[in-house]
Amino acid sequence: MNSTPAAVASALTFAWLGMVLGISFLEAPLKFRAPGVTIPVGLGIGRIVFRALNIAETVLAPAVVALVATGTPTTAVVVPVAVTALVLAVQLAVVRPRLNRRSDAVLAGEDPALRRSRAHLYYVALETVKLLSLIALGCALLSV
């Protein structure tokens, strides 16, 4: 792979990784521990923050894919970029709509304890896979 596209793709990958770490694994769980933050308030904040993250990801993913595609990438680069893109697509197309419906119900006054949803667990599992694939991709791009 050419060094300039690899360097730019690496920088974008690590920026993306930082966003995922900061939002999904730091902000999201901690906001509910803040004094006075109720479930509806936390959900409202989370929806705004995750919408912004997902918009950034929908810009970063095609940029990284395009940069990788301009060179002759190794399997060590192609596999994690494909996994990352696939996980993001599943999160946006399948899991996020379910989470949005669930948060809509809670924001409309439904007691969250009445009807549990596994969508959040799926999102966290996919976010963990995405995190690991971003680490692998960034490392593979640095070694080019």
Nearest to 84 by CA among 40, 38, 37, 20: 20
The model's pLDDT over 69-113, given as tens digits with 9 standing for 90+, comes to 998 899 999 999 999 999 999 999 999 999 999 889 888 888 877
Model confidence pTM above 0.85: yes
Place of tokens 């974008």: 12
Which two tokens mark 121?
Answer: 């667990």
* Nearest-angstrom CA–CA distance, 11 and 106: 38
First and final C-alpha spacing in the chain: 7
Segment 34-49 shows an average pLDDT of 91
Which two tokens mark 72?
Answer: 């002759």
